Structures are given as structure tokens and as C-alpha cells.
Structure 1
Amino acid sequence: MDSRMDALASLGSLEGVASALAGSRDGIDALLRDRGLRRTPPELTTESLLRGAIASATLEGSVSSAEEMRAGQGDEVAVAALRLSTELLALVPTLRTAPLQAFARLHAVLGAGAVADDQLGRPRDGAAAERLHLLARRLLEPTTAPALLVAAVVHAELATAAPFASHNGLVARAAERLVLVTRGVDEKSLIVPEAGHLALRAEYESNLRAYAQAGGSSGVHAWLVYAAEAYAKAAELSPVR
């Protein structure tokens, strides 16, 4: 396709982004290819999702311990993250064909009992709705962008736009994991991107702030280079290891 019309692919031309993401993808592929030589029990996927829920809840401000969450307990944020982890992969087909519905469902699962029913899955305002529609269109358009770049952009857009009444960080990190599955990076969801971000928490939070700042591409560039490092860490923290 014409690269001038491929907004996501154009981000891959930023200095160092393509090579950094390619290096991380090589590491992920090596991990999963090695695992593919043996049977991968579903328990590994379950464990990856659980580790992701624990990490994502912590990043969202939960003070519940990993032990509490493994027992199915914790504060509201922890319980919401656990609830979503059991439903997340069922949304893979929806993200492929109807991203807006997938985003709405993510929030509806997370926000149940925490926000009013008429706010579940609904954008906060017109600006948030417009940002969500644009992101959904980008996901449905053909692109030559690396899958890791697409996942990183989806994460940052949802986290910085904060389109819902609550749980936006959890939504963003869950959507990122779904993109990694739907784009063929990690079809069995064995790496743990949320734990990668938690391990690099200071860099994660500072680069999201940079992404959110208006003007120029420096923040986007910094976020994408950071994301490559986070995905490499996500592979290191996989239960496969």
C-alpha cells in the first residue's frame, strides 16, 4: 500500500525504532519457537494472564499483594484485573473485526460495580469518542507496520486519551496484549507485557507522559523505543522460562 497513507508504518521510520522492535521480536520468536518444539499446556497461558493481571493492577494503583490476587482476593482494582484476565482472550475475534466493541467490552468488564451502568464501555465525551474511532479505524486499515509497533501505539493511545470513566490503564494494557495475540506475535499469550512495564515502571510512566505531550514526534519516538525494551522484558518474564 502507499506508505503515505499508512500512518502506523510511517512511525517505523523514526530513528532506531524499526531495529529496536525487530530485535525484541527476534527474542520473542526465539522463546516461543523453542517452546513450540514441546507441547504448551493451557496452564502456561493462564499463568501468563495471571501475572499480567497482578502487574497491571499494581501499575493502576492497587495495593493488593500477588499472594492475595492468586487467592482471588484484593482491592477493587485487583479484583477487576483478575476478572478481566479470565475473559480477555475471548475478545480476540472481536478486536480483529470490531475494535470499538472490544475496547467497550474491556471497560465494561473492568468497570462493573465501580462506575454507573450507563458509563460502562462508553466514552467520557465527544473528544474521547473521536479518538477511539480513529484508533479503531487504524486497526482495521491495512498496514505494513510491525505488530509490536501497532501494539505499542494502541497501548499509548488508550492510556493517554483515557477515554473511559475509569480503569483506563488496565484497558490499555489489556488491549496491548490482545493486539499481540491478534497480530500473530504471541498467539497463545505466553509473554507478559504488563510485567515488562512494571519492571521498567519509571521509564514506562515517564514515556507515557512524553507521548501525551502535544507537539512533535519526540514523545512518540521515545515511547516506541521504550516499548521495544519492555517487550524484551516481557519475554524474559514469561512463565515459559
Structure 2
Amino acid sequence: MDPLAPLLDLADVAPAFAGAREAVDAAHKHRALRRHGGQVAAEASLRAAVASAALEGNRYDLDEVRDGTVTDPVVQGALRVAEALPGLVDLWPRAPRQALAKLHVLAARGVVHDHDLGRLTSGAERIDALAGLVAGNETTPPMLLAAIVHAELITLRPFAGPAGVVARAAARLTLTARGFDPRGLVVVETGHLDREPEYVGSAGAYATGTPDGVRSWLRHYAAAITAGAGEISVIGDGVLAAV
């Protein structure tokens, strides 16, 4: 049995998730993906990295990052993480703790002491429980599993430095590995950034462990997925306009 299944019975969660699923399915049909899918995926990855760094408090203009003029170590770490994600898709469901350590090494290099790279600073038992939930899990709906992975990591912050970058990357890995977004096109991070007060507030509500708190987070996550799907259309339209 899926231990997370009861969460879909929380008020308004299942409809919100269904709406997000429909938005993603529609976005995946954008005509730019037929011939320019690689360009769309590259831009989505860049935007995800820039938004993830911004959510850590390191905000930079997208075009400046694209031009390579930003040397901020958190931004550079987020870019390294984004570049590495396709190579971690197979590892994530087999060895989640190993994948998390790799993500932290990439995200936090130049930000924390080398000795702390890939090392947990807290929450080992909860990370073990989370890893047990992720490993080999083909039952929990991908969006729900990604939401819980993200929430657990963002509230626990078990790594030094930019732990949020790791949390958002792990959630993205979940969506990709489980086939919800196999090409990594949904820019969920921009959805979080556009709703940053809600993102922070709902994560704090989740941390209380109450049904209403968890419901608040799951509804936010569905909204972020929907917004991230809309970003595919924005990117796709831009790519088509440029060719």
C-alpha cells in the first residue's frame, strides 16, 4: 500500500493535482518540442537553476547568468546541479542518499568547507526514512512523491549551505525519474519563486505536521507545477520566434 495515498484525500488536493497534471500534459504538446526540444530543455534547465538560486537569496538577472557574467558561488552551484541532473536520474530511485550527497557536493562547492560537502549536518533518521520512501517506489503518484521529497528536505535542511538547491533538485529528479516530466521541461522553480511568500509559508505550515499544514504545501506545489508548465509555453514561443 502507498503510505502517502491518504494525503490525496485532504480537501482540494486531488483536484489541484489533477489540474496540474492537465497543464503539464498540454504543455508537453507545444509545437516547439517537435524540432527544438533540446533548446527548450536547455532554457528550462537554466531558468530552473536561476530561480533555485534566487530562492536561496542569490538573485540575478536571467540574461546575466546566461551570458556567463555571474560568478556567485550559489548560482554556479545551481547551474552545476542543473547540468548534472540527467546523469542522476537512474541513481535517484536506486540510491537516494548517494544522489543527495552528490547534489550537495555540486551545489555547495565554494560555499561551505570541503569537509562538509556531501555530509549530513542533521536529520539522519528522517533522511533514511525519506530514502526508504523514494527507493524503488513505483506506487506513489510522481507529483505527490516529489512534493513530499521537496518538503522534507526544505524543512529539514540536512546539509550546510544552499540546502534548498538540493531539495528542489531532488524533487525535479523525482518528477523526471518517475516519468511525470521525463525531459525535465517543467520549470517548477519559477512557480515557487513567483509565489515565494506562499512557498515559504506553506513549507513552514508543512513543518508543523498538521493535516492543514500538509494540505497547504500540497496545494502550493500543484500551483507551482501548473506555473512551471506554463513556462514551457513561454520558452517554446520564444524559441519559435527566434528561428
TM-score by structure 1 length? 0.91
Identity fraction in percent? 43
Structure 1 match to 2:115: 118
Q: Does 1:139 align with 2:134?
A: yes
Matched residue pairs, number?
234
Deviation of 1:143 (Å): 5.3
* Change in CA separation of 1:95 and 1:22 when aligned onto 2, cut-off 3 Å: same
User: Structure 2 CA distance, aligned partners of 1:35 and 1:180?
Assistant: 22
> Which structure 1 residue ranges, 4+ long, deviate > 4 Å from structure 2?
34-37
User: Structure 2 CA distance, aligned partners of 1:51 and 1:68?
Assistant: 12
Structure 1 match to 2:106: 109
Q: Does 1:85 align with 2:79?
A: no
User: Structure 2 CA distance, aligned partners of 1:67 and 1:40?
Assistant: 20
Please give the per-residue CA displacement for 1:161-200, whole angstroms capped at 9, x wherever unaligned: 0000111111111111111111111111111000111111
Unaligned runs of 5+ in 2: 238-243
TM-score by structure 2 length? 0.90
Amino acid at match of 1:74: T
Is this contact kept in 1: 2:33–2:40, CA < 8 A? Answer: no
Amino acid at match of 2:85: L
Is this contact kept in 2: 1:12–1:145, CA < 8 A? Answer: no
Deviation of 1:42 (Å): 1.4
Structure 2 match to 1:41: 37
User: Structure 2 CA distance, aligned partners of 1:225 and 1:46?
Assistant: 28
Deviation of 1:64 (Å): 2.6
Q: What SS does the aligned partner of 1:224 have?
A: helix
User: Structure 2 CA distance, aligned partners of 1:40 and 1:22?
Assistant: 28
Deviation of 1:40 (Å): 4.3
Q: 2:230 aligns with which of 211, 231, 236?
A: 236
Please give the per-residue CA displacement for 1:75-107, whole angstroms capped at 9, x wherever unaligned: 221121122222122111110211111111100
* Change in CA separation of 1:108 and 1:24 when aligned onto 2, cut-off 3 Å: same
Q: 1:188 aligns with which of 183, 191, 194?
A: 183
| Structural RMSD (CA) | 1.7
